[in-house]
Amino acid sequence: MSLIENRKARFNYEVLEEFEAGIELLGFEVKSVRAGAGKLEGSHVIVRGGEAYVVGMSISPYQPANMPKEYEQTRTRKLLLTKKEIETLAGIEKQKGLTIVPLSMYSKSRKLKLKIAIVRGRKKYDKREVLKKRDTSREIQRTLKNR
């Protein structure tokens, strides 16, 4: 079950490969994410110094009155990956035209996981093609349903 989802990612990008990563969060951030108060839109993953971080992910306060004054919603958060996965992501990050984007955050046996993907940006005509395919599949489903 997905707690937070980046809906525009699959439309704006062509997903090449997916990874599952743990994420380092504070206690009140976990409560907030489980309540569904977070946004992945506009965020991406960077690899620096042998560690992976998610940048631009926003998690709203769970109880705004009880939050620490210095809490920053869009702070950089560390991802928990194996060394081999980090090396793969570091190599991919250097390639032109590819980026690493979080797709969704979900709960897996009491732990929060972040599904990240290596993606390539789609051109405008590719996006139109995706919309056409979606519309035609809806039309087919409607006609089959009405029979």
Rounded mean pLDDT, 138-147: 88
Residue at 53 is within a domain = yes
**Residue 99's CATH number:** 2.40.280.10
Angle (CA) 33-71-48 rounded to 5° is 80
Give the pLDDT confidence score for residue 136 in this predicted structure: 92
Tokens of 3: 């707690």
65, pLDDT greater than 80:
no
pLDDT band at 61 (very low <50, low <70, confident <90, very high): confident
By C-alpha distance, which of 27, 7, 13 is closest to 127? 13
Residue at 128 is within a domain = no
- Distance from C-alpha of 62 to C-alpha of 59, rounded to nearest angstrom: 9
36, pLDDT greater than 90:
no
73, pLDDT greater than 90:
no
Residue at 146 is within a domain = no
Residue at 116 is within a domain = yes
Range of the domain at 34: 2-122
